[in-house]
Structures are given as C-alpha cells and as structure tokens.
Chain A
C-alpha cells in the first residue's frame, strides 16, 4: 500500500495536482498555507470579519473548481488573491461605485492612528479612502495591473492610476512617520 505523503511538505503544484484528482485534504493543506494571505488581503481591501472570511472561502472554492487552470507559474496564494480581489470588488461594487468615481475630497490630514503608535501596513491602509485602499490592494496586494484593475472596477485607467498614486503617497508618508516614531522610541 502506498504511503500517503505528508501534505505540509508538498509544494503548491503537487497539492494542486492532488486536489485536481479529488483529494480534498490536499486542498485543505493549500487553504491552511495560503488562507492568512487571502483573508488578510480581503480585510485590507475593506471587508469586515465574517464577510471577509466568506469572500476568502468563496475564492478558495472558485480556485478548487478551476484548479486545472493553476499551472504553478506563480504562488497559489497569489492566484487565489487575484480571485478574492475580483470577488470582493463584485460584492462591494454597488457600495464602491460612487466612491471610486467621485473626485477625491481634500480633507487635509487624513485621519490616522494616534501619534506614537507603531505604524504597520494595516494601520496605514486605514488612513486611505475606500477607493484608494481598493486600488492599492488590487494592484500591490492582488497583483493586478492598472489596466486590469480599471477593467475590473469599471472605471477609467487614469482614475485607477491617480487613486493608486495618492494611496501610495499616503502610505509612504504614514509608514515613514511610523518608522521615525519607532526609531525615536
């Protein structure tokens, strides 16, 4: 009788092959390995708690049904992140639509965490508008190109670029501030 391999020690492509052959335990190992990345991305895009987990699980189920399309060219987690990003946008499109197309409102200093707190990506993302957060998350987190993000969000390419630019500028400012504060502490 063939001995079952230790799933945790297998690579993504091997686990995907086992999954394609109907091994759900192998898919569980993929979920265990890449779940935090996908859950983190959906939360960083703006989804909350259970909704974020539902979207992440839906993305994994979609990956399961299309597992034959995974060729191992990138990480499995990155592939599922792209699916999850698309799913979040579809789910939240109605809420996002007006925020994505509206001109940004200059409110001066964006609301951020209290001074003195150690800044990290999650805290810095909270200082971005919903549109900026979604665009930055799609392009930097889920690996979408600007044109792909524009197509997904149904907004002009220039709008995506400006949201990403503004978002990254805010992130840079916040992250640098946080680093300075932690260096001084």
Chain B
C-alpha cells in the first residue's frame, strides 16, 4: 500500500515537466523535421509510383498485344519490345533508388 502510494507520487513528479528555455526552438526544429519528413514521404510515393508505372510498361511490353503492335510498327515500339526483362527491372530500381538517395538528407537534416 505504501509502495503504491509512493509509486503514484513518483508518477506525479514525472508529470511535472521541467522547464526548458529553448521551447520555441524545439517546436520550430520539430516542425522543420516534420516538413522534411512529409517531403520525403511524398517523394517516396512518387518514386514508388514511377516504379509501378515502369513495371506496368514492362508488363505491357512483354505482352502479346504489344508484340503484335510492335510488329506493325518500327522504331521506339520495337526497341521497347526487344528490351530484356532485366534491363527494365534495373531501370525501375534505379529510378526509385536515385530518388531516395537524392532525398536521403531530408531524413537526417
């Protein structure tokens, strides 16, 4: 019982927050980091979306439909249709990776 009461007293002492002189600076820096986090999150979303679009293009390029279209045309269509699967994967990963690397500082800033 005495222990419980003392534990409550200690919890009350913890709840009394110490005073900090730099409270506004803490909030300002926190909001800056939050904004940076939001920017990073949006860029990750864009990167993932770009990778998904590339993957969709890849699937289309490998599909019979595209092959039949490519057979009727020349140039870029044929190039896309003939690009190996591995190249597309590397390209998709590179787009996502470069975007992440470019924005890595946003996390640690």
List the interface of chain A (C-beta within 8 A of B): 24, 27-28, 31-32, 35-37, 39-41, 43-44, 53, 56-57, 60-61, 64-65, 77, 120-122, 136-137, 139-141, 143, 165, 168, 171-172
Chain B residues with a Cβ under 8 A of chain A: 3, 6-7, 10-11, 13-20, 23-24, 26-27, 29-31, 33-35, 37
Q: When the two chains form their complex, are residues A37 and B15 in contact, meaning their CB atoms are under 8 A apart?
A: yes
- Sample 8 A-B pairs with CB under 8 A, ordered by A number: A41-B14, A56-B26, A57-B29, A57-B33, A136-B10, A137-B14, A165-B3, A172-B6
Q: Is the CB of B15 within 8 A of A28?
A: no
With CB as the reference atom, state the residue of chain A lying closest to B25: A53
Closest-by-CB residue of A relative to B22 is A53
In whole angstroms, how far apart are the Cα atoms of A146 and B20 in the complex? 30
Given contacts A32-B27, A120-B13, A168-B7, 12 further A-B contacts (CB under 8 A): A31-B26, A31-B27, A32-B24, A36-B18, A36-B19, A39-B18, A61-B33, A65-B37, A121-B14, A121-B16, A122-B18, A140-B10
Main secondary structure of the interface of B (DSSP, over half): helix
